[in-house]
Amino acid sequence: MKNLIKNLLIFFIIFFTIAVVFSYFGNAGKKSERVGTEVLISQINNEKVAGIVVEGSKLTVSLKDGTKEIVKKETGESLSEMLKNFGVGADKMSAINIEVKEGEGLNFWLANILPFLIPFLLIGVFIYFMMRSVQGANSKAMMFGQSQVKQFGKDEKEKISFKDVAGAKEAKEELKEVVEFLKHPKKFLELGARIPRGALLLGSPGTGKTLLARAVAGEANVPFFHISGSEFVEMFVGVGASRVRDLFKQAKKAAPCIVFIDEIDAVGRRRGSGLGGSHDEREQTLNQILVEMDGFDPSVNVIVLAATNRPDVLDPALLRPGRFDRQIVLDEPDIADREAILKVHAKKKPLAKEVSLRRVAERTPGFSGADLANLLNEAAILAARRNKKIIEMDELLESIEKVMLGPERRSRVLTEKEKKITAYHEAGHAVVAHFLPNTDPVHKISIIARGRAGGYTLKLPIGDKHMHTKVEFTEEIAVLLAGYVTEKEIFGDITTGATSDLRRATKLARRLITDFGMSETLGPRTYGEKEEMIFLGREIHEQRDYSEKVAEQIDKEINNFIENAVHQAKGIVSKERDVLEKVVKVLMKQETLEKEEFEKIVGAKPKE
């Protein structure tokens, strides 16, 4: 649309230029005097006229004394007719040298034809441009079937090796094998081994799946075709399948090489589980991937890597031997890995001497590789904004919170009353967390808004945890509800500040019952089949595999958990009221409270 307007504007500018030029030309020959018809008649009658040149309706009269005049006559009427009408005698007429100059000269053409031509020209050009833009779309539609594959590995600068991927030892070990296959396929083929077709990288977002796949290509020094699963899914049915065909055609030409399908869950979802039309397309695409993977000549050395963070929704056919039979799990990095990742990303950043990446790693459980890379970047930005030449620990620590909770929003001014409520709310979380034996220690309390939270209480585990107990969960629910309980205890009223706490507590309670089998009454089983379906654009995550009666029991049990947690939190809040008040007082004064100061007020954390 914008283009169209631009084109139109250009036309009009051209049009006006022509008009101006044209009017200039029209006036150009007008050196001679302009006179009326009656003057001409009298001049003829007085025999002063030597000759007349007729050009359309324009008469150029040359007088005997050498001067020239211009006379306009009516169009359609010939000169002789006109003269006759004015009663000029034939003898007088024959004495004049009349020359007719019709349809000659550029001026004539411009003057007569251009006014008619310009609208047609404009329309013509307009149609031409319309056609062209339509054709552009058309030819793009023709390109649809080709995959928009990106090829890395040609450029040395882009090359990534295993060195650039920190941690993930097991995954790298497994992938070294893939590199071997790509580098020395003979070694394996001679022993009759079948070269694996594909490896599936599993892991939550940001754990380095894409990075690792690129590292494999870099290590093996082969081309790397990269396409995202969502790029297969287009508006038109059949496009995905044709893209798959095209992708593999290109890959086979470039063999040995790696085809990397990122976010394969976009196409590789379990077939036949949906009700919408888009599933036909996905199924076709998936089928085509399966066909291509089966159809390789075993000696063609193309290895398909795929990545997903949703292995649970993948079609089982993808996981069959001969397809993605290697599954490589990328875990969230543990403390040592986090330190290693930080080191990799700190390479190009000037860090102050006293910076301890180990301490940063300690404070960032649950951070993915991407989060850690982001953290260092934020720290660098912060340091630059403070006009520092090196990044110090301050910036790193502040960035942890920024990445975790979003940017600080100091501009959100709280009224004194709101500030007080927030202080009690957060102090409630902190105090309850502190006095419960199985919760993580409180690291920081703040009543400065951050991201979407009004204030926050940061708890961090001492080490990396891989398992959780029931009592940890129930205490966690109590901590979540502590803000609500404190507000109610102190002010006798509640605010909207506890909304997300309540939601999280309820969700956790439900999971305890339906996923972890931690409810006494409902027993050690799971409830609800986690299956993804898309119906009318809405995702339905859970399928009930239990009766209406059980649903009611689950609801009741959730309420039980919540009630117990409220009771537990309430007990601590009333018992430790003095401590709570002290924490609130400090919070009101300085807005944030670090671990050390907090522990000075509340004492050491009780052990079980």
Residue positions annotated with a catalytic role? 426
Q: How far is CA 507 from CA 285, 451, 471, 540, in A?
A: 36, 21, 16, 17
229 forms part of the interface with ligand ADP (CB under 6 A):
no
The amino acid sitting at 323 is R
Q: Which of 208/483 has CB closer to Zn ion?
A: 483
Q: Which two tokens stand for residue 362?
A: 């300690």
At closest approach, how far in Å is the CB of 11 from ligand ADP?
A: 48
Separation between Cα atoms, residue 140 and residue 132, nearest integer Å: 12
Torsion, Cα of 534, 535, 540, 544 (10° steps):
-120
Query: CA 521, CA 88: separation in Å to the nearest integer?
Result: 127
| 202-241 binders of Mg ion (CB under 5 A) | 210
CB of 171 vs ligand ADP, minimal distance in Å: 9
Q: Of 153, 369, 454, 483, which one interacts with ligand ADP (CB under 6 A)? A: 369
Scanning 286-294, 369-377, 416-424, 474-482 for contacts with ligand ADP by CB under 6 A, the matching segment is 369-377
Neighbours of 445 (CB within 10 A): 27
Q: Which of 217, 174, 177, 194 is nearest to 322 (CA)?
A: 194
Which stretches within 264-385 are classed as H helix? Answer: 278-295, 335-346, 357-362, 369-385
**Distance in angstroms (rounded) separating the CA atoms of residues 27 and 106:** 13
| Residue 203 binds ligand ADP (CB under 6 A) | yes
Q: Considering only residues 302-321, where is the footprint of ligand ADP by CB under 6 A?
A: 307
- Element housing 97 (H / E): strand 97-100
* Binding track over 339-368 against ligand ADP, x by CB under 6 A: --x--x------------------------
Q: Which residue is nearest to ligand ADP (CB)?
A: 369
Q: Are 432 and 572 in contact (CB under 8 A)?
A: yes
Q: What is the DSSP string of 445-475?
A: EE-S-BTTBSSEEEE--SS--S---HHHHHH
Helix (H) or strand (E) holding 605: none
336 binds, among ligand ADP, Zn ion, Mg ion, none (CB under 5 to 8 A by kind): none
Residue nearest to Mg ion (CB): 210
Tokens of 100: 């007719």
Phi and psi angles of residue 576, each rounded to the nearest 5 degrees, phi first = -105, 30
Nearer to ligand ADP, 166 or 433 (CB): 166
Mask for 148-187, x = binds ligand ADP (CB under 6 A) = -----------------xxxx-------------------
Q: 361 with 339: CB under 8 angstroms?
A: yes
Smallest distance from the beta carbon of 210 to Mg ion, in angstroms?
3
Say whether residue 573 binds ligand ADP (CB under 6 A).
no
Nearer to ligand ADP, 62 or 210 (CB): 210
Q: Which is nearer to Mg ion, 149 or 460 (CB)?
A: 149
Q: Which does 501 bind (CB under 5 to 8 A by kind): ligand ADP, Mg ion, Zn ion, none?
A: Zn ion
The only residue of 83, 96, 211, 562 in contact with ligand ADP, by rule CB under 6 A: 211
92-100, 239-247, 358-366, 476-484 -> range binding Zn ion (CB under 5 A): 476-484
**349 touches 380 (CB < 8 A):** yes
User: Is residue 207 near ligand ADP by the rule CB under 6 A?
Assistant: yes
Q: Which stretch binds Zn ion (CB under 5 A): 230-238, 283-291, 499-507, 543-551?
A: 499-507
Closer by beta carbon to ligand ADP, 199 or else 572: 199
137-155 exposure pattern, b = at least 16 Cβ within 10 A, e = fewer: eeeeeeebbebebeebbee
Which stretches does DSSP call E strand in 128-248? Answer: 150-152, 198-203, 224-228
Of 209-217, 299-307, 496-504, 545-553, which part binds Zn ion (CB under 5 A)?
496-504
Other C-beta atoms within 10 Å of 431: how many? 31
Task: Reduce the DSSP state of residue 19 to 3 states and report it.
Answer: helix
Exactly one of 117, 149, 319, 370 binds ligand ADP (CB under 6 A); that residue is 370
Measured from the CB atom, the residue of 43 and 506 that comes closer to Zn ion is: 506
State which residue, 22 or 162, has the beta carbon closest to ligand ADP.
162
Count of residues of this chain found to bind ligand ADP when the rule CB under 6 A is applied: 18
Which partner in Mg ion, ligand ADP, Zn ion, none is near 370 (CB below 5 to 8 A by kind)? ligand ADP
Query: For ligand ADP, which is the closer residue by CB, 207 or 422?
Result: 207
Q: Which residues bind ligand ADP (CB under 6 A)?
A: 165-168, 203, 205-211, 307, 341, 344, 369-370, 373
Q: Which residues bind Mg ion (CB under 5 A)?
A: 210
Q: Which residues bind Zn ion (CB under 5 A)?
A: 483, 501
